[in-house]
Amino acid sequence: MPPPASLAVQVRHALSEAGFHLVENTDSGTSGLQVSETPAGVLVRWVASDGFHALAAGQSGRAPDGGIRAVVQAAVGGVLMQRGHTVTTPEEDGILVLAPSTTPSQ
């Protein structure tokens, strides 16, 4: 029996299967979700493209991506919780998927 997939692989698979676009750390040309490993688990952040930032700069009086970021966080959190993952929001712009050994006991 093969070993279970890493948490990052599981998260990437769940998000891809749900239709989210994933981007790499160095990819600034498109908007999407960035998945990176941390000591506590996996951090999922929405990254806006350079083009999005340019368009948003013309919008006066509003945070350029705050509303979109909140909607994306809610959708990502919902998908991952449906898959049985424990999620938390330690940062304004990210969701932390806790590794099984760091999941708080109930």
More confident residue, 34 or 56: 34
Mean pLDDT (the chain) is 78
Asked whether the predicted pLDDT for residue 97 surpasses 90, the reply is yes
Tell me the pTM.
0.75
- Assign 106 a pLDDT band (cuts: 50, 70, 90): very low
Q: What is the average per-residue pLDDT within 41-67?
A: 65
Handedness of CA 31, 32, 36, 38 (dihedral sign): positive
Q: What is the average per-residue pLDDT within 65-73?
A: 75
Q: Are 46 and 20 in contact (CB under 8 A)?
A: no
pLDDT > 70 fraction of the chain, expressed in percent and rounded: 66
Q: What Rg, from alpha-carbon coordinates, does the chain have?
A: 15
pLDDT of residue 73: 87
Residue 38 has a CB neighbour count (10 Å cut-off) of 14
- Assign 24 a pLDDT band (cuts: 50, 70, 90): confident
- Assign 77 a pLDDT band (cuts: 50, 70, 90): very high
